[in-house]
Amino acid sequence: MRLSARPIAALVAALALTAGLSITGTPAVARSDDRAAAAEASDVSIAADTYTWKNARIDGGGFVPGIVFNRSEKNLAYARTDIGGAYRWDQAGKRWTPLLDWVDWDRWGWSGVVSLASDTAEPDNVYAAVGTYTNRWDPTNGAVLRSSDRGASWKAATLPFKLGGNMPGRGMGERLAVDPNKNSVLYLGAPSGNGLWRSTDSGATWSEVTAFPNPGNYAQDPSDTSGYGNDNQGIVWVTFDERSGSAGSATQDIYVGVADKENTVYRSTDGGSTWSRIAGQPTGYLAHKGVLDSSTGHLYLTLSDTGGPYDGAKGRIWRYDTESGAWTDVSPVAEADTYYGFGGISVDRQKPGTLMATAYSSWWPDTQIFRSTDSGATWTQAWDYSSYPNRSNRYTLDVSSVPWLSWGANPSPPETAPKLGWMTESLEIDPFDSDRMMYGTGATVYGTEDLTSWDSGGTFTITPMVKGLEETAVNDLASPPSGAPLLSALGDIGGFRHTDLDAVPAMMFTSPNLDSTTSLDFAEASPGTVVRVGNADAAPHIGFSTDNGANWFQGSEPSGVTGGGTVAAAADGSGFVWSPEGAGVHHTTGYGTSWTASTGIPAGATVESDRKNPKKFYGFSAGTFYVSTDGGATFTAKATGLPAEGNVRFKALPGTEGDIWLAGGAPTGAYGLWRSTDSGASFTRFSGVEQADSVGFGKAASGASYQTVFVSAKIGGVRGIFRSTDAGAGWTRINDDAHQWAWTGAAITGDPRVYGRVYVSTNGRGIQVGESSDTDGPGTDPGPGTDPGTDPGEPPADADCSVAYTVTNRWSGGFQAEVKLTNTGTAAYDGWKLGWTFPGDQRIGQIWNASHQQTGAKVTVTDAGWNGKVAPGSSAAFGFTGTTTGDGTAPGAFTLGGEACAVG
């Protein structure tokens, strides 16, 4: 159940993306504005079609290294992930809201979050330090993002170095901190020997704290020459002692953790002007966390002999008395009895002296959680041995909401399924509620709301608190014409048969369990036949299903296989072609009881099947297309001159022999979209598509003669998800700038049963499902001013409200507007819905600080939850970008709850 570090060197090498410099304003303009003229020979609609987006629910699926509670506002909490962005907790829905879906293709690295900080003085302020890799894999420098509306919109300060949200040591922290007394001051601990950095203008600009004496020296693997394992993990956390300052005056006592086993804690007592190593500190370990209990004056360190989050064989917990300067080893077990490092630690802000810590790297038999109510003098454990190997647990673990967390395992004691966790680098007690605690694992966020039962001798209940947080890396997708609407191939957790896109699947693919599924396929004419391949420490690397992926059995494999590679199923399910890692291309009839090497095609080629002729298979490698007409036994080289660099993916059109679409390449060479109608003998490039990375097909539009084509591509100078209903003659962008999800190049497919529905892969934000409001195809939009479901009836009465609507920016084809709703009555609003009708053809693209629905010209905007309560005389504001062929004229009337508002 170990989750891999997921470095994506091969992907990055293929992309060679350019770095973005900064974000100014809202997420709507977070993308580099490099739009070109409409591509030649294509009718390109840059304005997005009206799509709604959601995740195919999995709930979790990746490492959550950080959880941060705001200490001045109840229920305000954030979570960070290593590759999948940041989230804000929604207490009403008990779910997480994604905050960085606007991160674009060029700055995909900003989806890795190395640290978060929530401002206690002004809770609307939140900061995120972003960047995925510190080596060449990530082409962009890191940045500190800042938001004054809880992550609804962001500005960025790009740093002169890289940050590593998916690097070794990413569970340590938090590296980013806001001064609780003077919130214009922030500190950031940098990796790679770049030292300690400070901002004095609320994160707008940053400079190095040159007086800080130690940039760190610890690397996970100094012999690694890739820049991954051998990077200096640097400054790993910053903690303020708020007692040493007052409102408006900078905190004087600041503690900093350094990746240096002999010098791991430093302190300043003069607001960061000078720094010194704290005498008497423990040595031989790295301090993963430093948390100060201001009620007792104790600074607690969790220590490990490595940086984590996977490794760590020894660990300790030490307490520092900030008044006396005394150090005390308060570890819950003897050093000789540890086989793990300590990571997560939290103090109960309601109960001085109560704290908890985790054994983050205890993989077997389970992680351990420790609790003390006397400042670490004594501890109890979440589980103990009753009589080995049997365990006595202080908790019950209910995963019924995310049942796949059991991994389908049935281990022998002392292991259990599901596990309490692994990689538990973050644990936080709610500062307002001693009964609520959350902790991150390598696959989910767990939590409890009856924690204090631990102290009274009872059991407390742990459940997944992960709804809305989707962090899977998607390698392949398939949507069969019958059976489940979607089958997924995922990194780390294998993949799922999604029978209901809005429900968490009961179990991932099992029998065999694969660490990561790299490719899957179904037989087009017999969709019950499915094959998947993937990575595992040992055989098997392949599984078959005859019931549309509901049940599986493992197949044999050729000798030498080391990884999944790609796989293809014959159109009728009579045979398969497999191109695994470590062995050449092979073919089989039946279900892989024996494999025979294919000839005429190089090892490592990507393989696919024709979707009509069961004897025809295709392959691609290094710019050459290959075709087999004998079930994969022999291949013949056909078209050449295709992209020789980068990743290339291709699909054959369902139901038509020999119709193939190929996407891929690299900016340094050929890069785009090609089509063949003669089984790969020749290809024609779509001149209007500048770049393309994945292609798929869905149900044809009403009256259309060709299936709908979807691509992740750059068209008309714009990166996005595009749809064509006329075989590529024209394209419409169907995502918007608020829904970009960083990198979307691995896989895309439409749904053959639902027009307009598309499934998009991401590298850390799970499976995105797009649904078109145009359910029958082009021409069904009721058009401006039409709302056939509404009887106008009597004119509404006046409401206690006024609305100021301001167009703040205009450009060709679009505009930006801000709206302020003021409560002019005597009673507070408890939630609000503001409506209006646009003149002309205006359509909202992306909105912040609110959500919206639009039917034709009619718009309804709903509060964002946190701004739903508006006191008399107060206002709520939101903004949006829109598209129009006119000048963006302001609406003339507004309603609140169906009643008219004053305008002005």
| Positions marked active-site | 82, 492
- CA dist 298 and 312 (Å) reads 25
> What are the helix (H) ranges across 286-409?
none
The distance from CA 697 to its chain's CA centroid, rounded to whole angstroms, is 25
- CA dist 185 and 610 (Å) reads 61
The CA-atom distances, in angstroms, between 188 and each of 132, 145, 160, 243, 263 are: 16, 12, 13, 21, 18
Number of H helices, E strands in the chain: 1, 70
> How many residues does this entry show for the chain?
904
Query: E strand or H helix at 12, and its extent?
Result: helix 9-15
Written as one string, the DSSP assignment of 467-494 is TT-B-PBEEEEE--SSSSSEEEEETTTB
- CA dist 781 and 762 (Å) reads 29
Cis peptide before 540 (omega within 30 of 0): yes
- CA dist 621 and 578 (Å) reads 14
Q: Say if residues 504 and 404 touch (Cβ distance below 8 Å).
A: yes
For residue 505, how many C-alpha atoms fall within 13 Å in the half-sphere facing its CB?
Answer: 26
For residue 395, how many C-alpha atoms fall within 13 Å in the half-sphere facing its CB?
Answer: 27
Task: Assign 425 to helix, strand or coil.
Answer: coil
Neighbours of 713 (CB within 10 A): 29
- CA dist 833 and 898 (Å) reads 9
Task: Assign 404 to helix, strand or coil.
Answer: helix
- CA dist 680 and 148 (Å) reads 54
What are 88's two structure tokens?
A: 């804000």
Sorted by sequence, the CB contacts under 8 Å of residue 203 that are 6+ apart come out as: 127, 144, 146, 157, 186
